[in-house]
């Protein structure tokens, strides 16, 4: 099957470059940060007595790292896990939706497509999401690649077989 995007003249399909994608990520970071921040506040308030107790106990030379520390760590792990779930579902559901992108991408008039220019499914959106972890853990070089590749693909786009294009 012929790749539809490769057969179009460049004027018809314009790839979204690094800076517009960066702007969309800033918007999305704010959007995800709000529920994550609320969640973190709720968990911290719930475990606030444990935190103050842990601080006092840690000053005691006889402190054995008891249940308070475990409760504090449990609250922290719960917050990290739930924030990760919020992020995962935000990106995967919106990238695979009829919008073909997150709110940040929608506001900046760009969308995620497969290599044929079609909407991606939840599975491909999930793969793309997890590949963004790879793009980030190598000092964000995977993201920066979008500024230097022919079709402005970041590493996670290459791994998932996706493109980010400007809406026509």
What's the pLDDT at 41?
87
What's the pLDDT at 5?
58
What's the pLDDT at 118?
97
The structure tokens listed for 132 are 């963004």
What's the pLDDT at 8?
46
- pTM score of the predicted model: 0.83
What's the pLDDT at 112?
98
11: CB partners within 8 A, 6+ apart: none
Place of tokens 């190598």: 138
pLDDT in tens, the chain (168 residues): 556 555 544 446 799 999 999 999 999 999 999 999 998 888 878 776 666 666 666 666 766 666 666 666 777 888 889 899 999 999 999 999 999 999 999 999 999 999 999 999 999 999 999 999 999 999 999 999 999 999 999 999 999 999 999 997
Residue range(s) defining the domain that contains residue 102: 4-166
What's the pLDDT at 108?
98
Calculated CA dihedral for residues 127, 128, 132, 133, nearest 10 degrees: -10
Report whether 152 contacts 18 (CB < 8 A).
Answer: yes
- How many structural domains are present in the chain? 1
Report whether 156 contacts 128 (CB < 8 A).
Answer: yes
What's the pLDDT at 12?
60
Measured between alpha carbons, how far is 29 from 55 in angstroms, rounded to an integer?
31
């Amino acid at each position: 099957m012929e790749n539809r995007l490769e057969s179009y003249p460049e004027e018809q399909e314009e790839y979204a470059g690094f800076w517009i994608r960066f702007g969309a990520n800033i918007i999305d970071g704010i959007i995800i940060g709000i529920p994550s921040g609320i969640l973190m506040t709720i968990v911290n308030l719930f475990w606030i007595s444990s935190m103050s107790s842990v601080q006092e106990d840690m000053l005691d030379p006889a402190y054995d790292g008891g249940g308070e520390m475990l409760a504090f760590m449990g609250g922290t792990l719960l917050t990290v896990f739930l924030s990760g779930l919020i992020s995962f579902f935000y990106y995967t559901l919106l990238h695979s939706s009829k919008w073909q992108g997150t709110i940040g991408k929608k506001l900046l008039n760009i969308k995620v497509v497969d290599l044929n220019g079609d909407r991606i499914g939840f599975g491909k959106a999930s793969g793309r999401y997890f590949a963004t972890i790879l793009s980030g853990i190598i000092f964000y070089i995977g993201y920066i690649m979008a500024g230097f590749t022919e079709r402005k693909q970041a590493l996670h786009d290459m791994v998932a077989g996706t493109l980010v294009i400007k809406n026509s």
